[in-house]
Amino acid sequence: MVGKSGDDGGSILTLKDFVAGTIAGILQVIVGQPFDIIKVRIQAQSQKNPIYENPLDCAKKIYLNEGIYTFYRGTLSPLVGIGACVSIQFGVNEACKRILKNHRKENNIPNPNKLTLLQLSTCGAIAGIVNSVVAIPVEHIRIKMQVEGTKLIKKYSGSFDCLKKIYKEHGIHGIYKGGLPTLPREAISYFFYFGIYEGLIQNSEKTYGDRNSIPLWKVIFFGALAGIGEWVPGYPFDVIKSKYQADDVKNPKYTSMKSVIADIYKTNGIKGFYSGLLPCIMRAPFATGATFAGYELASRAWDNLLANKKI
């Protein structure tokens, strides 16, 4: 059932969660895109003959050789797609929380609205898995566009052209290339992402009385911590996925995910699976802080409008 409000009044999926999630996703892209393109360029390059020495060198070369607008190349796809992804993440996460709370109420469990950290984290993992349906093609196209202009790939004029050419050459299978490592990455990452954030928020409610009263600076800080906790555990899956998706569809270097793993390990050992982690850690506090701030502010605005009967 889809309802308008964000309370527990019988609605499982609510419009509020999806609208607030979309706004959060747009902010995430605007803040995080420059960091993300650096991460992808480093992940996708050859470890034997690297183009970039480190994240700072990557940023410098992109700026000098391709211009400042390159940091937002391929933004159309994530701006639309990530907005949809984040709306799904928050929508499904909140739906799972409501289901658990309703279950606790029906079974007369004390403090039904207080979920355990494991329950909060599991809700996040489920949200990540559901999100994969949209995240796989969105990230595939974004990665293709982010490596555009390097020696790796130079064949797409834009996000839509990329989508059209991949589909024409390899159909829906090509669009979902690299989906296999995305599933465990999403489950692991969002287990920690929402687990850390929701755990901190729930604990703060003891002090401030309710979620909407928690200061914005704390929301941003909790989001920053959640972002760091999101990336570290599932990062190797992200490296494998990025290399596989950045590969040329028509003349691929890798024949399978197994060949990607073998190549990474052979070329750079275990540390190769953490290539590009630094820009992710640098990006996380800003991007995820903005994401959760956007979600909470939009949710609070929605609640205020609803209280005034304007929606």
Which CATH number characterizes residue 140's domain? 1.50.40.10
Mean pLDDT of 63-74: 83
Q: Give the C-alpha distances (Å, rounded to integers) separating 280 from 63, 188, 224, 303.
A: 19, 16, 12, 33
pLDDT at residue 221 is higher than 80: yes
Asked whether 227 and 171 are in contact (CB, 8 A), the reply is no
d(CA 294, CA 23): 6
Query: What are the start-end ranges of the E strands in the chain?
Result: 2-3, 13-14
Residue-wise pLDDT for 122-135, tens only, equals 999 999 999 988 88
pLDDT, residue 77, reads 63
Token reading at 131: 């999100």
More confident residue, 110 or 46: 110
Predicted TM-score (pTM) of the model is 0.75
More confident residue, 175 or 21: 21
Q: Report the half-sphere exposure of 216 (CA within 13 A, side-chain side).
A: 10
Q: Give residue 189's identity as a one-letter amino acid code.
A: S
13, β-bridge pairs: 2
Q: How many domains does the chain have?
A: 1
| pLDDT above 90: percentage of residues in the chain | 33
Asked whether 300 and 63 are in contact (CB, 8 A), the reply is no
pLDDT, residue 6, reads 43
pLDDT at residue 4 is higher than 80: no
Q: What is the span of the domain harbouring residue 292?
A: 2-307
Locus of tokens 């920690």: 192
pLDDT at residue 261 is higher than 80: yes
pLDDT, residue 154, reads 58
